[in-house]
Amino acid sequence: MPLIPCSDLSPADWIVSSELPWDRLVGFGPSGFPAYARLRFLPDPAFPGQSENDVEAVGDETEEERLRALFGLLAAHTGTPEDCCFCLWDGYGDIYGGDAVSVLVVGEDGGERPVPRVAPAFPPEVLGGPKVVIPHRSYFLFRGPLSAACDWGAAEMWPGQPRLDMPGPAFAWPADHAWCVAHDVDPHWAGIGADAGTIDRLLADPRLDVVPADPGRTQPAYR
């Protein structure tokens, strides 16, 4: 089953009430974890000013697939894997649908034609409902099992066309706060806060490109 939209925003209070600098909060989540790391979707820049266009990801996995793999490992490091929260950034335009979303489809004759209107991803009560708000960002809150991470239950873009490019969560955490994953829209990595043993296991797992991180320091960034 997909994640369920949540109108009770209290589970996100530990994020909203944080007094951390904005870039630190969206990069690694709330403070208080003994250890931190970064899950890289791209290798770190090789030189100052490098563009993301000049580098390729290692492996064929998408960001969503890498996040799902991470959550699969983190499931063993929480007592509440069936009760987790996920924040979806509201800044992705096609979430709201409408005429402003430009999409081309290939017809039976092989020619491209525009879709006149893309349906909203969620019903009005979700899109117009309460949001988790921090400086510079606001999010829809969802809740459900960790195994459903990235499955937002979004409506089809138009009949017969599912939404295939929904973003991953900007924040994800279990109800017991055993860890937190933060993935803002700009960085080429996701930040992870957890206990030292959990971070050590992530670092040792060859399926993920995870490196240690100090949230108090400036992180590698592409221009």
Domain count of the fold of the chain? 1
Mean pLDDT for 33-60 is: 93
Q: Is residue 60 part of a domain?
A: yes
Q: 98: which residues sit within 8 A by CB, 6+ positions away?
A: 117, 118, 120
Q: 203: which residues sit within 8 A by CB, 6+ positions away?
A: 37, 210, 211, 212
At residue 34, does pLDDT exceed 60?
yes
Q: Which residue has the higher pLDDT, 102 or 113?
A: 113
> Quick one: pLDDT at residue 160?
84
SS3 content of the chain, % helix, strand, coil (to 5): 25, 25, 55
User: H or E stretch including 112?
Assistant: strand 112-114
Pairing assessment for the beta strands 4-5 and 137-144 based on DSSP bridges: antiparallel
> Quick one: pLDDT at residue 19?
96
At residue 123, does pLDDT exceed 60?
yes
Mean per-residue pLDDT of the chain: 92
b/e burial code for range 74-107 (CB count within 10 A of at least 16 → b): bbebbeebeebbbbbbbeeebbebeeebeeeeee
Q: Is residue 220 part of a domain?
A: no
Contact between residue 207 and residue 63 where contact means Cβ atoms under 8 Å apart: no
| Alpha-carbon separation of residue 211 from 27, 61, 63, 200, 217 (angstroms) | 14, 18, 16, 10, 14
Q: Is residue 112 part of a domain?
A: no
Pairing assessment for the beta strands 180-182 and 189-194 based on DSSP bridges: antiparallel
Single-letter amino acid, residue 18: S
Q: Is residue 223 part of a domain?
A: no
> Quick one: pLDDT at residue 57?
83
Contact between residue 196 and residue 189 where contact means Cβ atoms under 8 Å apart: no
CA-CA distance, 30 to 17, in Å (whole number)?
A: 9
Q: Packing angle between helix 196-204 and helix 63-74, nearest 10 degrees?
A: 130
Parent domain of 141: 4-91+123-212
Q: Which residue has the higher pLDDT, 106 or 165?
A: 165
> Quick one: pLDDT at residue 23?
95
The per-residue pLDDT for range 135-150, each reduced to its tens digit, is 999 999 999 999 999 9
Q: Is residue 109 part of a domain?
A: no
Contact between residue 198 and residue 173 where contact means Cβ atoms under 8 Å apart: no
Q: Is residue 158 part of a domain?
A: yes
| Alpha-carbon separation of residue 220 from 24, 83, 108, 124, 212 (angstroms) | 13, 33, 46, 39, 12
Percentage of the chain with pLDDT > 70? 92
pTM greater than the 0.85 cutoff: yes
At residue 106, does pLDDT exceed 70?
no
Q: Is residue 115 part of a domain?
A: no
The per-residue pLDDT for range 65-104, each reduced to its tens digit, is 999 999 999 999 999 999 999 999 999 988 998 754 555 5
With cut-offs at 50, 70 and 90, classify the pLDDT of residue 115: low
The per-residue pLDDT for range 159-194, each reduced to its tens digit, is 888 887 889 999 999 999 999 999 999 999 999 999
Q: Is residue 185 part of a domain?
A: yes
| Alpha-carbon separation of residue 218 from 110, 125, 184, 209 (angstroms) | 49, 39, 15, 19
